[in-house]
Chains A and B, each alone.
Chain A
Amino acid sequence: METPMYQSNHRKIALGLSLIPGFGQLYNRQYVKGISFFILAASFLIVFKDLLNMGWWGIFTLGEVVGRDHSIFLLVEGILAVIISVFGLGFYAFNLRDAYKNGQKRDLGLKISSLREQYRALVDNGFPYLMISPGFILLVFVVIFPIIFVVLLAFTNYDLYHSPPAKLVDWVGFQNFIDLVKLDLWRKTFINVLAWTIVWTFGATTLQIALGIFLAIIVNQKDLKGKAIIRTIFILPWAVPAFVTILVFSGMFNESFGVINKTILASLGIGPIEWMTDPFWTKVALILIQTWLGFPFVFAMTTGVLQAIPNELYEAATVDGASSWQKFTKITLPLVLYATAPILITQYTFNFNNFNIIYLFNGGGPAVSGQNAGATDILISWIYRLTMTSAQYSKAAAITLLLSLVVVSVALWQFRRTKSFKEEDMM
């Protein structure tokens, strides 16, 4: 049925000629387009020829001659080559499709759009791409590129002993992950750090959420005076930059000079507590500080929700003879949790990666014998330690990969439940 409709074979010829970008367009008598396609493609090849050549070789071999080849730079060039190739192939596919479509138009005896019409179409259809591209290109280089790099690094043996330029780095497959499970030192550290990360994430976050909601409900009581000033005070910990407060707290918790041991606990008749050297008390201090830092956010959100709950609900409940406790558990809490759930879950992922507090309070310490992470190191601060102090890059990358998998699956699970996924138009 299809073939008889075409009176000629322009589409095939245009497609064939387009194997050299621009020629198909020239054949279709779209001269400006053809020439600009050709120039674009040619300059693409000229500019990136060396990088592509070097990169594709580099990403497979990671270098062959010690001294001449720097494995890590080759890896970087390799990823760049892959990204650039993807862009290039995208353009090439567009070029082929364009030539074919216009050839088809000619075959069907339709008029090919003039230069002005092409320009309009380009502006109309291309406008969203044009708007996105600056942000997207930046994103590719500072976010996506590093992620690809880390993923690849997790499968190499890049560490202090395999460090360019003196040594070459090699692909080692899943060796890093196997080491994490099999080697005693790594397994023990990994399990301890993971366990504390989980306790930390759930403990600190749940406490801050509970306190935030509790205080919001207390302050929201109708007959309570001075709401505005109380709310301002309760927001303060959120308003002060966290790194300042954490450093201040680490001064206050200082074992020998800090105000907590010296003044507060002493006046209560309690002896000094080892906030910085005893793992248990350091953990307690960290959770307390994070609760202090984090509850105002939940407090503010909950207050917003509470003020939006219509009063009639409570009045109706009173008429039906509900007690205050029933009103709380059946009306207030479900509404608050429903409205703030997505934001509350981001609080968990935030604390899961809350590097600042762990590092600034006590540097992840105190040190523990028999493992290469401090007692309060969470995964992200352990990664930092491995990268910055012991140059265990590939292990750090492997752990990053595991960590990201956890975070991404939590994120996807969360967003699958939210509205936006179900409403087709939103996505």
Chain B
Amino acid sequence: MDMKRQKLIRLTLSYAVILAMTIVIVYPLLWVVGSSFNPGQSLSGSKMIPDNATLAHYKKLFDTSQSDYLIWYWNSLKISTLTMIFSVILVSLTAYSFSRYRFIGRQNGLMTFLILQMIPNFAALIAIFILALLTGLVDTHLGLILVYVGGAIPMNTWLMKGYLDTIPKELDESAKIDGAGHLRIFFQIVLPLAKPIIAVVALFTFIAPFGDFILASVLLRSKEKYTLAVGLYDLVAKQFGSEFTTFAAGSVLIAVPIAILFLSFQKYFVSGLTAGGTKG
């Protein structure tokens, strides 16, 4: 009897904790969703369950004559996708050489990457800005993408190298004996086996530019070049609260697709991180 009671208490307490956490997690999220349907513009009038729900704010966002939101969305998608593609290519090449070849400078290279991954690349903000000014890359998406890709290389290379190290070397050695060239081994043997970690790197390098605020706000000047993070901040910061409901609608439109993408890849994510992270 006593065991049963103990179990009952334990489970009840657990569910109570879970319920409390669920409220804390879900409340802000539902609140934004609710705000985005509120008829008014201001923060003060917004309620979680609005009296006369309206889609006006969504319509406004989709109307290019009234807001730049769609342009920002497109900019963010473009920058994130290109950053992802270039990062995956460069990271795969670098990680593969570090994992499979023993060449002069390898140890120093790995060490450099290790240190670099710890310094956030926006620490050198001033330098990046001046360099961009000098090369005419200020206020261009190309400049931003280059900085993102460069910044993604050290950390993701370590991550992927850690994973590649777990793929048995005998596989490529036997392929070599069978006469396969360097590129063939890389593309046809190692890359297919590295799919999970490629998915992780791809997702990381896609989401990072999406969430970056500091670099984008320093490098992008004109409104029609903004990414979502900068644009939304602009929307909300100018006169706080005055356009809050529009901001809320904009947030929902970002958060929903990203969250779905994220949740569907979540399994890969954790396994890739623990495999690459703890080994690397």
Interface positions of A (Cβ within 8 A of B) = 72-73, 76, 123-125, 127-129, 131-132, 134-136, 138-139, 141-147, 149-150, 153, 215, 218-219, 221, 223-224, 230, 232-245, 247-252, 254, 256-259, 262, 292, 300-301, 303-305, 339-340, 342-343, 349, 353, 355-356, 359-360, 380, 383-384, 387-388, 393, 396-397, 400, 403-404, 407-408, 410-412, 415, 418-420, 426-427
Contact = CB atoms under 8 A, between A and B. Distances in A.
B218 A388 contact: yes
B53 interface: no
B124 A125 contact: no
B255 A244 contact: yes
B124 A247 contact: no
A123 B236 contact: no
B51 to A, nearest CB: 15
B197 interface: no
Interface in B85-128: 90-91, 93-94, 96-98, 100-101, 103, 106-107, 109-110, 114-128
Contacts of B31: 248, 252, 259
B21 A234 contact: yes
B39 interface: no
A224 B128 contact: no
B251 interface: yes
Contacts of A230: 18, 22
21 contacts: A73-B134, A127-B101, A141-B131, A147-B123, A215-B18, A218-B18, A221-B14, A233-B26, A241-B255, A248-B31, A248-B251, A251-B240, A259-B31, A356-B211, A360-B213, A396-B126, A408-B118, A411-B117, A411-B118, A418-B278, A420-B162
B47 to A, nearest CB: 9
Interface stretch (B55-63, B64-72, B143-151): B143-151
Contacts of B7: 223
A241 B42 contact: no
Contacts of A412: 114-115
B242 to A, nearest CB: 11
Given A149-B127, A241-B210, A408-B118, A301 B255 contact: no
Contacts of A236: 25-26, 29, 259
Nearest to B31: A259
B119 A241 contact: no
A356 to B, nearest CB: 5
A245 B28 contact: yes
B1 interface: no
B9 interface: no
A292 B24 CA distance: 8
Nearest to B256: A240
Contacts of A356: 211, 213-214
Given A251-B43, A251-B236, A380 B120 contact: yes
Contacts of B127: 145-147, 149-150, 153
Given A150-B127, A304-B274, A404-B123, 11 more contacts: A141-B131, A146-B128, A150-B123, A153-B126, A241-B207, A251-B240, A292-B25, A380-B120, A408-B119, A426-B279, A427-B107
A131 B131 contact: no
Given A247-B251, A254-B43, A125 B103 contact: yes
Interface string B205-233: 00100110110001000000000010011
A305 B275 CA distance: 11
Contacts of A250: 240
B4 to A, nearest CB: 12
Nearest to B45: A257
Q: Chain B interface: which size bin?
A: 35 or more
Interface of B: 7, 10-11, 14-15, 17-18, 21-22, 24-26, 28-29, 31-32, 35, 42-44, 46, 48, 90-91, 93-94, 96-98, 100-101, 103, 106-107, 109-110, 114-131, 134, 146-147, 149-151, 153-154, 157, 162, 165, 182, 207, 210-211, 213-214, 218, 229, 232-233, 236, 240-241, 244, 247-248, 251, 254-255, 258-259, 262-263, 266, 269-271, 273-274, 277-280
Given A239-B263, A384-B214, A145 B131 contact: yes
Contact of B233 (A240, A243, A340): A243
A221 B146 CA distance: 46
Contact of B94 (A135, A153, A237, A349): A135
B214 to A, nearest CB: 5
Nearest to B89: A134
A242 B211 CA distance: 7
Contacts of A353: 120, 123
Contacts of B121: 142-143, 146
A132 B106 CA distance: 10
A233 B211 contact: no
A245 B251 CA distance: 8
Contacts of A73: 134
Contacts of A129: 97, 103
A135 B94 CA distance: 7
A251 B239 CA distance: 12
Nearest to B240: A254
A232 B25 CA distance: 11
B236 A247 contact: yes
B52 to A, nearest CB: 19
A246 B68 CA distance: 22
Nearest to B169: A425
A257 B44 contact: yes
A395 B153 CA distance: 29
B266 to A, nearest CB: 6
A139 B123 contact: no
Given A412-B115, A420-B279, A426-B165, A142 B96 contact: no
Given A138-B90, A243-B229, A248 B32 contact: yes
Contact of B119 (A147, A233, A256, A305): A147
What are the 3 tightest A-B residue pairs by CB atom distance, in nearest-first order? A142-B150, A146-B124, A146-B127
Nearest to A276: B240
Nearest to A244: B251
Nearest to A397: B126
A104 to B, nearest CB: 19
B211 A234 contact: no
